[in-house]
Amino acid sequence: MGGGFDAPRFFPRVGEERAIGRPARLAFRAARVLSRPLALHQPSPRSDPPRRVVVRAPATSANLGPGFDALGLALDLWMEVQADVAEGITTVHSDQGPPERDSQNLIVRAAFAAFEAAGRPPVALSLRCINTIPMGRGLGSSAAAIAAGLRLGAALAGARLGDDELLVLANRLEGHPDNVAPALLGGIRVAVSDGDGVVSTVQVHPPIHLMAVAFIPEVRIPTEDARAALPHEVPFADAAFNIGRAALLVAALAAGDLRLLREATRDRMHQPYRATLFPAGPRLIKAALRAGAAGAFTSGAGPTVLALCGPDTSTIDVTRALLASAEADGLEGSARTLSLSERGAHVVHAA
């Protein structure tokens, strides 16, 4: 690659890829999604689009401490959706609730958005969802629903919607790209959007193996409540604090320098304010760091706390520390050790 630009493998029409000051294995992969209205696609020449599609979409953790609404990563924890073309009314069957007959279901809305972008009328669907992603815990269940719906909608429409187009649709549905970018595309990602729908995303490739330990409380915090806890303005010093650490975090991950993550995952813009909703959160973070985690932070809007661990860190020690801290607070929940996922939402089966 040298110092030139090559089209990224995942973004065949737009984007760029190059090494930045280090060997290519440490390169950022960048893609710029063009600012333009989504043009309706001509229907695919395929005369027999599938009538059954199975897709999987990963859980995600957003913010990663200082990167509010801009940083996120995909986790090896999945939502699986089977969609069948049906007659009559769209129905959703989930392992986490009674059947729904509601076109406002997030998976359905995303699927219909893909149909519209493909220039095809939506069809009635029968959806069956097996979801291992805890809802309302800050692990991106809504982003997974959107990513799954877009992938299955594009497949059922028989359309070749590119990742750039699907990312624009996902951002419109979610309102911010920090979760939907890794949910759709996988990996550790920087993702930002402007007011006109322009989305820029970069995947960061750490040269070392990272694991995550998540403490998932039984209590839920609706995203709306977590957003309402934030101030409309923050002190200039706090904004500068976060900008520096968000930049440091991306650089440290790209370089594989885990010594910097403890400082790089600190935050002053959202976690202190949300601690009023979940006071145990700061104590859980401190417990994970004392046990050897490279960095720890509130996952998304919370209340889950995620600890990043390198090859030399015992995930068992971090798990025990999180559980002990929770027990001391009288907090019910569970701890899970998770791999990071390089893969985002994808079609498993189509027929």
**Residues 121, 257: one domain?**
no
5 part of a folded domain: no
**Residues 247, 158: one domain?**
no
282 part of a folded domain: yes
Predicted confidence band at 54 (pLDDT cuts at 50, 70, 90)?
very high
Per-residue pLDDT at 94: 77
295 part of a folded domain: yes
**Residues 172, 255: one domain?**
no
Lowest mean pLDDT among 87-91, 253-257, 280-284: 87-91
58 part of a folded domain: yes
Per-residue pLDDT at 102: 66
**pLDDT score of 48 more than 80:** no
**Residues 242, 305: one domain?**
yes
Name the average pLDDT for the chain. 86
Predicted confidence band at 38 (pLDDT cuts at 50, 70, 90)?
very low
Lowest mean pLDDT among 10-19, 58-67, 109-118, 127-136: 10-19
- Domain of residue 129 covers 52-203+346-350
* % of the chain with per-residue pLDDT over 70: 84
Per-residue pLDDT at 320: 98
**pLDDT score of 254 more than 90:** yes
23 part of a folded domain: no
Per-residue pLDDT at 198: 78
Q: How many domains does the chain have?
A: 2
More confident residue, 45 or 86: 86
- For the entire predicted model, the pTM comes to 0.84
**Residues 83, 136: one domain?**
yes
Lowest mean pLDDT among 19-33, 209-223, 291-305: 19-33
* Backbone phi, psi, residue 198, to 5°: -75, 125
36 part of a folded domain: no
**pLDDT score of 19 more than 70:** no
309 part of a folded domain: yes
**Across residues 101-112, what is the average pLDDT?**
86
42 part of a folded domain: no
**Residues 116, 241: one domain?**
no
**Residues 60, 199: one domain?**
yes
Please report, for the domain that includes residue 248, its CATH number. 3.30.70.890
Please report, for the domain that includes residue 185, its CATH number. 3.30.230.10
**Residues 319, 215: one domain?**
yes
Dig out the tokens for 37 from the structure: 């209205």
**Residues 218, 170: one domain?**
no
